[in-house]
Amino acid sequence: MAFKSLLSVVSVVAALQGANAALTRRVACPDGKNTATNAACCQLFAVREDLQENLFHGGLCTAEAHESLRLTFHDAIAISPAMEAQGKFGGGGADGSIAIFPEIETAFHPNIGLDEIVALQKPFVARHNLSHADL
């Protein structure tokens, strides 16, 4: 009896998951090989391919990949010692500020060395007409 009840619950859950997947509409991207849940995301597939091929040397886990991840993390934690000293919230989130203000942000001790990856990523931002936060 307990097995039949469990089987019924599992069947209902599986049916609901299948129905939810069927209701999620996807759009075909102009490149003919990718789909997305939002058409605005289609341009990001070209960015991904360009980054993989030209910054990460064909998708390898290189120093550039490591530094890009480090840049993303340091931009996201957004520490402002000056604001914290005033008793205010000293964070802001991933907004691309390290790349927008590299002469200021990369001088902050934990960000030392990020100026190199910021410089390497600038052509990708320009080529794909993105903001630094979007990259």
Q: Which helix (H) or strand (E) holds 18?
A: helix 2-23
Whether 89 and 83 have beta carbons less than 8 Å apart is answered as: yes
Half-sphere exposure of 27 (CA within 13 A, CB side): 10
Strands (DSSP E) along the chain, which ranges?
27-28, 35-36
Please list, in sequence order, all residues whose beta carbon lies within 8 angstroms of the beta carbon of residue 57, skipping any fewer than 6 positions away: 64
Active site annotation includes 74? yes
Query: Which tokens go with 85?
Result: 């000293």
Q: Is 48 helix (H, G, I), strand (E, B) or coil?
A: helix
Out of 57, 66, 74, 132, which one is annotated catalytic? 74
Q: Which residues are catalytic?
A: 74
